[in-house]
Amino acid sequence: MEPMGLREIARVPLSERVYRTLMELIADGSIPPGAELKEQHLAKQFNVSATPVREALKRLASDGMVEIIPYRGAVVRMLNKREIDEAYACREALEHLAVSEAIAHMEPQNIQELYGLTEAYRESADPSEICALSQQFDEYIYRMTQNHTLYELLGMLKGTISRDKKYSSANIERRAAIYEEHRAIVAAIESQDKERARQAVSNHIRNGRSFIEEKG
């Protein structure tokens, strides 16, 4: 998927732009659970009217990322253990499908670009950049499925699994493990071994989940 040009960005509705930005800020922890999202305050921040903000908040509520509370407004949801467990189970199932479908569309250049992202991840010392590179690695594989519905479904899980990348980017041992896990995924894709790729994805996700549980 190519980056959007200026004309395409201009055509994105205001509510969509507000929605995407808020979703990313919630997903990466910049807006924490329990935070209140005031319509008027957000409207000033985005330099828009209250209407697109209201529409964006309704979508986020539909996604399960915020809760609309009467007389209080929108509040970022605090997920319970059951919801987190369900999200990781869904992520594993969806990423099994993603890596299987992506293999069919991978060219040698794509493989090298994935290896490049993996090496950039290993070489970086900036936690924010490391977190972003990890996300880029996932996004690259998602896009290579050429399955828009699958891509959107995986995007809906960002808010529940963002702690994985956030905490991992600040832990040297976990970062080293992720580097090896990413290389294993790319190697399996390169060999076009779907079963091996699915197993590598499972190892990566389950190791991340275990790390988060240890962090408490």
Tokens standing for residue 213: 């549980």
Candidates 3.40.190.10, 3.40.50.1100, 1.25.60.10, 1.20.120.530; CATH matching 81-215: 1.20.120.530
CATH 1.10.10.10 holds for 6-76: yes
Backbone angles phi, psi at 36, to 5 degrees: -90, 140
Query: Per-residue pLDDT for the chain (216 aa), expressed as one digit of tens each?
Result: 444 333 444 467 899 889 888 877 876 678 888 899 999 999 999 999 999 999 999 988 887 778 999 888 899 887 778 878 888 899 999 999 999 999 999 999 999 999 999 999 999 988 778 888 998 999 999 999 999 999 999 987 876 666 667 667 778 888 999 999 999 999 999 999 999 999 999 999 999 888 877 755
* Beta strands per DSSP E along the chain: 36-37, 66-69, 73-76
* Nearest CA among 95, 93, 94, 24 for reference residue 65: 24
* Res 1: pLDDT: 40
- Whole-prediction pTM: 0.70
Joined together, the tokens standing for residue 163 give: 């702690």
Domain boundaries, the chain: 6-76, 81-215
Pairwise CA distance, residues 132 & 47, whole Å: 27
3-state helix, strand, coil in the chain (%, to 5): 75, 5, 20
Which runs of consecutive H residues, i.e. helices, occur in the chain? Answer: 6-11, 14-27, 39-46, 50-63, 81-103, 108-123, 127-144, 148-155, 158-168, 172-190, 194-215
CA–CA gap between residue 179 and residue 112 (Å, rounded): 15
- Strand 36-37 with 66-69, pairing: unpaired
